[in-house]
Amino acid sequence: MTVAHPLSLLTPEEVTTAKAVLDAAGEVPDGASIVHIILVEPTKDELAAWSPGDPVPRRVEALVVPGPALTMVKLIVSIDEERIVQREVIEGQRPTLLMGESFLVMVACTQHPDYIAALARRGITDLTHVQIDPWPAGSFGYAAEEGRRIARCISFLRMDETDNGYARPIEGVIVHADLGTGEVIEVIDHAPPGTDPIPLAPQGSRYDADHAGPLRTDLRPIHITQPEGVSFTVEDNLVRWQKWEMRMGWDPYEGLTLHQVHYTDTAPDGSERRRSILHRASISEMVVPYGDPGEVQGWKNAFDAGEWGLGRMTQSLTLGCDCLGEIHYTDVTMATEQGTPWVVPNAICMHEEDFGIGWKHVDLLTNRHEVRRSRRLVISHIATVGNYEYGFFWYFYLDGNIQLEVKLTGILSTQGVRVGESTPFSSPLAPGLVAPVHQHLFCARLDLDVDGTANRVEEVEAEVVPMGPEAPWGNAFRPKATVLAKESEAKRLTNPATSRSWRVVNPDKRNHVDRPVGYKLIPTMSTPTLLAHPESSVGQRAGFARHNLWVTPYAPDERRAAGEFPNQSAGGDGLPAWTAADRDLDGEDVVLWYSFGITHFPRPEDWPVMPTEYTGFLLAPFGFFERNPALDVPPSPPGPCHAPSGDDADGGGGCCST
């Protein structure tokens, strides 16, 4: 039982071995839950020292919750030596919400007399199709919640098993439950006795094909064929595509992680250099804070990485539906809460996409045209976190660009109102149904190693030269680069008006025009920051989202932007705490943390299921290459150019070069 590389994906056998070691040591008492068993990634130094053929040391981290108390035990298990090599007891913090406990709490709700009574007031006496959603509780200083692991449950009514429950919120009923003991602490009915509760919305709204109304009949098939196969290879978790090379990793919280991203640079004379760009990239955290101030909705916020887990919530993908064309799927292994291997088949989807024009020019003197197709390698996974879907799509392009696109879809979190009423903090969707405003704020952790680890971060933006002797025509502007030398200087906001971006350069590696080689982080989409007040509960807990950019020097244990255990945390962990040291950045091994996302004012068109909305960013070479790296892409072979329609048709013959 050996793996090929220190970063090879965790295997089911390793999970089994780890569990056996934990059992033998008596670390998994009856009633304990195993929060995770994850690969301990080797540090950068360890990876640099490792060569093919060397032994592959493997260690995993197990996080065990022995019982209802706020005690967790973190154990590092050596798989090779089959022994525990490190043991740490963590007091006073909470793990992510556990599935088994959440289920028990849902059952406890349906059996509680106050819950049954609250639903009866709303005309619901048959609880068969009541849908109960446990939410992370946040931290609001309730005395009864001290020392406990809490979920707040909200409810919806389905008309039958497959109905869309979010169409009928059971408004005003919130259950505070203890996940550790499975007890209901309190059923809160926000409709005071003697008043009429907000009724269920009068109509349902389903999104499946049987309930969408007449379906279109004029969509003809699109087939994507690659008759000679794909242009990438996957060996273990090592991906090679064109000049790119990288390893795929997996984390229960971050989901897909990318490691050791390299590009083999071919100089015009044909010489090749394998060059480092990114050591590790992932989504380190995300938060969805809601903007309604009322007591029924105002507590709602969710850290979907730290409180749920973008890896844990990932679903298997289906050929032809989620992914089109020649697809390579990768299964991932995590651990169940009992410590058995939990394999998610087809969790990661990989394929190539034609991406339109890569570059083109028509010489108007000779009427010669040169055009090349753009193509990208797509590595993706999709997490279903409660009502929402989040797709994380990493793109690698022929021209050296790296892009992350996050696709948001799924179902809005809804609120019931009286028919005809609305609130300033929500959008009406249907009679008696609104959706509160909210944000989806992601934080990508980007450990760039641009031609090595000693890097520098510069903020680059347009500087207008005042009209005067230097700019007599008043037209002058130039790029201004400011070195972000300390952590305190590197807490930055985007500025579209000045085209602000951040360039990571290697000051010791100069290019052919004597500039340091670099890669640039470009905000390409909307970049809201956290709107909640800094002193608010979520404002304290989601400090990472108050700036678009943070930069830290590499530290292996600084992984998650809101800290390791955001669930019910008081806040301040993660980036705000680490950067308080105000460490030096210039010439260091820098890690960029980029917060981006969407402020969502829901639309009627987002209902009953939301058309995919997009956010993300771009990493583009800036003086990393000597010239357009896609110059060597050959012209496409003459295709059947279907005249007169077809966007790339040129009437036959060689399409792409004359």
Name the residues that contact Co ion, by CB under 5 A.
600
To the query of whether residue 142 is one of the catalytic residues in this protein, the response is no
Which helix (H) or strand (E) segment is 384 a member of? strand 368-385
Among residues 248 and 610, whose Cβ is nearest to Co ion?
A: 610
Those residues whose C-beta lies under 8 Å from the C-beta of residue 134, and which sit 6 or more positions away, are 97, 102, 105, 106, 151, 152, 153, 177, 179
Residue nearest to Co ion (CB): 600
Q: In angstroms, what is the minimal distance from the CB of 388 to Co ion?
A: 7
Among residues 108 and 406, whose Cβ is nearest to Co ion?
A: 406
Measure the CA–CA gap between 599 and 526, rounded to whole angstroms. 9
Q: In angstroms, what is the minimal distance from the CB of 297 to Co ion?
A: 14
Q: In angstroms, what is the minimal distance from the CB of 438 to Co ion?
A: 6
Q: Which of 166, 388, 395, 554 is catalytic?
A: 388
CB–CB of 655/636 below 8 Å?
yes
With the CA atoms of 572, 335, 77 and 562 taken in that order, what torsion angle do they form, in degrees rounded to the nearest 10? -10
The HSE-up count of residue 390 (CA atoms within 13 Å, CB side) is 30
Among residues 183 and 613, whose Cβ is nearest to Co ion?
A: 613
Q: Residue 103: helix, strand or coil by DSSP?
A: helix
CB–CB of 284/297 below 8 Å?
no
| β-sheet with 516-522: strand ranges across | 328-335, 341-363, 368-385, 388-397, 402-410, 610-621, 516-522, 501-510, 456-464, 477-483
Among residues 575 and 598, whose Cβ is nearest to Co ion?
A: 598
Q: In angstroms, what is the minimal distance from the CB of 46 to Co ion?
A: 40
CB–CB of 105/576 below 8 Å?
no
Q: In angstroms, what is the minimal distance from the CB of 413 to Co ion?
A: 8
Among residues 102 and 427, whose Cβ is nearest to Co ion?
A: 427
Q: In angstroms, what is the minimal distance from the CB of 600 to Co ion?
A: 4
Measure the CA–CA gap between 421 and 221, rounded to whole angstroms. 44
Measure the CA–CA gap between 288 and 279, rounded to whole angstroms. 28
Among residues 197 and 528, whose Cβ is nearest to Co ion?
A: 528
DSSP 8-class letter at 355: E
To the query of whether residue 388 is one of the catalytic residues in this protein, the response is yes
Q: Which of 133, 189, 292, 304 is catalytic?
A: 304
Measure the CA–CA gap between 235 and 476, rounded to whole angstroms. 52
Active site residues: 304, 388
